[in-house]
Chains A and B, each alone.
Chain A
Amino acid sequence: MNKCMELDLQEMLPDLLHRTLDSAARARVEAHVAECASCTEELKVLRTVASAAVFAPTIDVDRIVGHIAPYRPIAPVVQAPARSRVVSWLVAASMLVVIAGGGSLLMVQQRQPGARVAPTAVASHQVSTSSQSVAVKPPVTSVPVTRTLDQPIHTLALAPGVDGLSDGDLRQLMNDMDSFDALPTVEPEPVLSVDTGDNLDQGL
């Protein structure tokens, strides 16, 4: 038997069987079936299969309805207003900025020698203020340094940025440098070579 070439019409055979086609489509399909042996056979098969379905048991409707519980509307679940995704992202982003900012600030502070100098500066401060205990040094006549740790310390020029010091600070710095006793006060004694007699054999 030749295959049907009008597949779109052949597909509508179950709809023709159940009378769910509109009048125009139904007329088209019926006209096609009248000419197509394949579709005629298929429609016959479909009719047979459809009629074979009558053997399902008869259902007792009242019995089923008796088992159906009365309607109870589902109570809407009250939920706390969930934080929207945008807000969550904003919170996460701001936390990230804070962490990154704090981290980079710490790194910058660690890289700046001035930050490490703080103890030295304090030490120098102590030196300058306790200079009276050092006998060799004259009393410092400069302005007494009364700084706290959170103030910028320019006592020593170990940190870069001398350009930023004021005239007063520079004078103070110079005075402090004058008062250092790091340099030896006396000339070193000349070193004399000692003949150990190792060269005597060579001379002989």
Chain B
Amino acid sequence: MTPSPEIRPPTDTELIERWKAGDTRAATQLVGRHSQALARFAASSGEREGIEELVQDTFVRAFASLDSFRGESSLRTWLFTIERRLMLDRRRAERRSRETVPDEESDHVSEYGALDSLIAEEAQERVRRSLEALSPTQRDVFTLRVQQGLSYKEIAEILGTTEGAARVHYHNAIQTVKEFLRDE
């Protein structure tokens, strides 16, 4: 009796090829594989609302331009790059609308409270506040490294910076978070 061949899950590249060939289930697999990581990254980066829309926009854009994905990085890294650009666009747009309509500040506070109610445990609340003490770049580097487990090379690619700069940001971020949690 010959042993059955080991069944391995298809790689991202294989799924992309299948989707291009018309297999919509491949798209479902790809979205299922990466959507939660994208949502976590968005939440860790300070997005408070519309995370699902953000993830959806990321996938829509990514699938629309899959021909430009050369496979030099992993698909997830590429998706993070797209998502981060979308987040930056959103923040710019929010900043502009806040400048023109200052009354929206009260809505912002209420959304903040909604998130607060979501975080039940005290330790996690402290972590959230410690992350808020970081600069946006430090926060992105830190969450990509700690929560997503990406390498400095991948982080540098997503942020459009160097590995050395990513290391420095991570080092400063971990010091800040440690001090914040120690003082609390």
Chain A interface (Cβ < 8 Å from any Cβ of B): 11, 14-15, 17-18, 20, 41-42, 45-46, 48-65, 67-71, 73-74
Instruction: Give per-residue flags for B20-56: 1 if the beta carbon is below 8 A from chain A beta carbons, else 0.
Output: 1010100110011001101110111000000110011
Task: Decide if the interface of chain A is mainly helix, strand, loop or mixed.
Answer: helix
A53 to B59, CA, bound (A): 21
With A45-B177, A53-B143 already in contact, 5 other A-B pairs whose C-beta atoms are closer than 8 Å = A51-B124, A65-B28, A67-B59, A69-B64, A71-B63
- Top 8 nearest A-B pairs (CB, nearest first) are A18-B149, A56-B39, A52-B127, A56-B43, A59-B35, A52-B124, A53-B147, A56-B40
Instruction: Give per-residue flags for B89-106: 1 if the beta carbon is below 8 A from chain A beta carbons, else 0.
Output: 000000000000000000
Report chain B residues within 8 Å CB of A42: 174, 178
State whether A64 touches B59 (Cβ < 8 A): yes
Name the residue of chain A whose CB is nearest to the CB of B63: A68
Name the residue of chain B whose CB is nearest to the CB of A72: B64
- Known: A18-B149, A71-B19, A73-B67. Contact between A52 and B52, CB under 8 A? no
State whether A71 touches B66 (Cβ < 8 A): yes
- Asked whether B167 is an interface residue with its Cβ less than 8 Å from the other chain, the reply is yes
Report chain A residues within 8 Å CB of B123: 48, 52
- Known: A49-B146, A55-B124. Contact between A61 and B20, CB under 8 A? no
Chain B interface (Cβ < 8 Å from any Cβ of A): 19-20, 22, 24, 27-28, 31-32, 35-36, 38-40, 42-44, 51-52, 55-56, 59-60, 63-64, 66-67, 118-119, 123-124, 127-128, 130-131, 142-143, 145-147, 149, 151, 167, 174, 177-178, 181
A179 to chain B, nearest CB (A): 89
Report chain A residues within 8 Å CB of B31: 59, 61, 64-65, 68
A62 to B24, CA, bound (A): 11
State whether A61 touches B66 (Cβ < 8 A): no
Report chain A residues within 8 Å CB of B143: 53
- Known: A20-B149, A56-B39. Contact between A48 and B28, CB under 8 A? no
Report chain A residues within 8 Å CB of B178: 41-42, 45
